[in-house]
Amino acid sequence: MDIHEFQAKELLKRFGVNVPRGGIAYSPEQAVYRASELSGDKWVVKAQIHSGARGKAGGVRICSDEREISEAAQWMLGRMLVTHQTGPQGKLVSRLYIEEATKIAQEIYLAFVLDRKEERVVVVASAQGGMEIEDISANEPDSIIRSVVDPAVGMQAFQAREIAFSLGLDPALIPQAVKTITGCYRAMAELDANMVEINPLVVTQSGEIMALDAKMSFDDNALYRRPEISELRDKSQEDSRETYAEDRGLAYIGLDGEIGCIVNGAGLAMATLDMIKMAGGEPANFLDVGGGASPERVLMSFKAVLNDRNVEAILVNIFAGINRCDWIAEGVIRAYRELDLKMPLVVRLSGTNVEQGRRIIKDSGLPIITAETLVDAANLVVNAWKDTKPAQKGAA
């Protein structure tokens, strides 16, 4: 789960990380009022969306008076802001963060990430802040500092000092840097975060170390024990297809194709996606219906798949161990009738009660295509999908 910049800053502030003063605004008038509360002569208006590279898309503006603040707020609010991370659909700007402007002397990149290979938290830092880590890696690879944290002892002060000195900071700033680095690590460890990124972490002209931007993401599986973090979720920033499925206990990931997939087991689901591509199609999603799927759960899975308007055919691929093929078949029949399905549907069943499941589908009298192997199922669904596109087929 991702959160907004202002939320991340509030969390990091609790752990001793210095951040600029700021406030949330939901209208141009409120944005102007927030700036007046902060005083000063320059302010930064920031669109709050779950994406980086907001500045390049016009989502971060430095303003010098009330008119500029109002104009920036009017332009941003209600807009689908498109960055290279959001995709062409963009993300809706429904709130702004108004922050006092900071006079910058130096910019630094600082991030804490989970390295699956190391099975450790790794600190990634660079004296070349203000850029995406990919750009830093491409343009200044020698500037990247990596430091692995031993989970048995956590981030130690000496390790934080080594990182700070490696960044070329003035010795007088080292205590502040150590406090910032250890604070970020504590926030990550104590809040079950997967990632903490500050870009840029700046040294101000007055000699303070301050987080000008902040991103945090959290382990979804740990949210049950972090209700204060779970409350920060903004569903408007998430894929509506994935949100619908997650709220119903389904493992779903939206993709860009036209063939919807309802499968049980992550491994079988991945194999199904591969076979669809090998057959010449494009999967529209990854959906693991899970074990012990009832007819009602199968129906919910169909609804989740059909929330994607790009879906033009569906493949159900079930290997029943804990599941039962007759339950799956009942769910498929119910979904077909209740949802008035008009698109091609291919069902491949194997495992527990497979004969009963196949009989239920056959006796239904519905135009459901059945297959015995995954290869056959993939070819059948791709061919059936292509047959619904006569103009495209003729052009080929």
Q: What are the catalytic residues?
A: 109, 197
Is there a contact between 289 and 252 (Cβ–Cβ < 8 Å)? no
What Å distances lie between residue 195 and 180, 185, 192, 238, CA to CA?
15, 10, 9, 18
264 is in an annotated binding site: yes
Query: CB of 20 within 8 A of CB of 212?
Result: yes
* Alpha-carbon gap, residue 217 to 11, rounded angstroms: 12
Any known ligand binding at 323?
A: no
Residue 84 burial by CB count (10 A; 0-12/13-18/19+): exposed, middle or buried?
Answer: exposed
Structure tokens that stand for 21 in this block? 């003063």
Residues forming a β-bridge with 189 = none
> Is 99 flagged in the annotation as binding?
yes
The answer on whether 372 is annotated among ligand-binding residues is no
CB-based contacts of 316, cutoff 8 Å, min separation 6: 262, 263, 328, 332, 345, 346, 347, 348, 349
Partner residues linked to 254 by β-bridges:
285
DSSP string covering 216-236 = EEE-GGGGGG-HHHHTT--GG
Burial class (CB within 10 angstroms; exposed 0-12, middle 13-18, buried 19+) of 222: middle
272 marked as part of a ligand binding site:
no
- Is 66 labelled a binding residue? no
Q: How many CB atoms lie within 10 A of CB 265?
A: 19
Q: Which of 284, 301, 211 is nearest to 248 (CA)?
A: 301
Per-residue tokens: 261: 């997939």
Q: Of 142, 157, 229, which Cα lies nearest the Cα of 188?
A: 229
Determine the Cα–Cα distance for residues 211 and 202; give it in Å rounded to an integer. 6
Task: Please state the residue numbers annotated as binding site for ATP.
Answer: 46, 99, 102, 107
Task: Please state the residue numbers annotated as binding site.
Answer: 46, 99, 102, 107, 199, 213, 264
Task: Please state the residue numbers annotated as binding site for Mg(2+).
Answer: 199, 213
Task: Please state the residue numbers annotated as binding site for substrate.
Answer: 264
